[in-house]
Each structure stands twice: as C-alpha cells, then as structure tokens.
Amino acid sequence: MHLPDPLPHLVIIGCGNPTRQDDAAAPILLEALRESLGHRSDHYRLRYIETLQLNPENAYDLLGADKVIFIDCGLIDTPVLFKPIMPETSWQLTTHQQTPEAILAMTSMLSDEPLPECFLLAIQGNAFELGEPLTSDCINHLDLAKTLVTHLVNMPDTASWHKIWHQEHGERCARSIIG
C-alpha cells in the first residue's frame, strides 16, 4: 500500500526566455535549484516548472500546492526582491500572458481548496538582447537568489518566510538571512 507523502508541496515556477540575456536568469536558477536540492528537502516535496511566460494554464499547476515561488527577472531597483503575493482582484483575461497574481486568482476559480501561499522572487536584470549571455551583475544576483531559495526550502513555517520579507526588502533582506 502506498501512503501519501506527508510533506507539504512547494512549487517553484521560473519564467523567462533562455535566449534573451538576463531574462534567462529564472530558467538558469531553476536548473541550479533542481540540481542542488532535488525533489525533496527535509520540509517540502519540490516541483519545478519552467515557462517562457505565465499563461492561464499555469493556474492548474498551483492546484494541490501548499506554497509557490514565482521566479522572474525584470527591471527592478534592487538585486533581489522577495515578497508575498495575493490574488489579483481586478484581472482580465485580455492577453495570454498573465501576472503571478492573476494566475493565483484563476486558481481560486478552479477549486474550493485553500489557495497556496505564494511569493514572488524577482531578480534584477539589465539587458535583454537576443542571443547574448547573462550580464555579470545578473550572475551575481543569481547567486544571491539561489542562496535565498535554499534557505527558504529549509524553513518549514510560513511565518519565517514572511519574517524575511518584513525584515527588509531586496538584497539586504536576502543577505540578512545568509549572514
């Protein structure tokens, strides 16, 4: 008889285009996490999803999850930003590409089950040219992001995740938990 796995299910979704310079940060981070963490930690069953952009279909990926981390790269003013997200209340299905908040709202329409706790991990990118490698700044930001996710996976309670966000935002937030 096969018993269900008692560990909470953590889904990590990486969004980005591997052929567009710093936009490749999330897919590269996802692969590095998969290699270093595998599919289980002491506290979570891990599932990794790579996508070029968030689509309505990704709402199904959140079903059955306890926690979700959306990872993306963008023009932000700090090397790494980690924050909780809530369902978007006024989203419209006008394009195929969606925000993490809209995906969370769509998931709420698919099931009566409680929504997973969701977080955004944004990595600062500076250049998005087709066919170019990651910038050196983005490579440094990736190291910080990987360390942050590795620490999160070793924290079983969501209160610790929120504490990280409340302490400080961005690079200082990530550096405060890694020493």
More confident residue, 156 or 92: 156
Given a cut of 80, is residue 105 above it in pLDDT?
Answer: yes
Read off the tokens for 120: 């955004």
The pLDDT tens digits for 108-125 are 999 999 999 999 999 999
Q: Region of 9 please: left (phi>0), alpha (psi -120 to 50) or beta.
A: beta
Which band of pLDDT confidence, cut at 50, 70 and 90, is reported for residue 135?
Answer: very high
The pLDDT tens digits for 72-97 are 999 988 899 999 999 887 766 666 66
Question: What are phi and psi for residue 18, nearest 5 degrees?
Answer: -65, -10
| Longest pairwise C-alpha distance within the chain | 52
Which band of pLDDT confidence, cut at 50, 70 and 90, is reported for residue 98?
Answer: confident
What pLDDT does residue 43 have? Answer: 87
117-124 and 67-74 beta bridge pairing: parallel
The overall average pLDDT reported for the chain is 85
The residue extents of the domains of the chain are 9-178
Which band of pLDDT confidence, cut at 50, 70 and 90, is reported for residue 32?
Answer: very high
Given a cut of 80, is residue 165 above it in pLDDT?
Answer: no
More confident residue, 78 or 33: 33
Which band of pLDDT confidence, cut at 50, 70 and 90, is reported for residue 176?
Answer: very low
Which band of pLDDT confidence, cut at 50, 70 and 90, is reported for residue 174?
Answer: very low
More confident residue, 72 or 169: 72
pTM value is 0.88
Any alpha helices (H) in the chain, and if so which ranges? 25-37, 100-110, 136-153, 158-167, 170-178
Dist. CA 28–CA 26, nearest whole Å: 5
Homologous superfamily in CATH for domain 9-178:
HybD-like (3.40.50.1450)
Of 144, 132, 117, the C-alpha closest to 32 is: 144
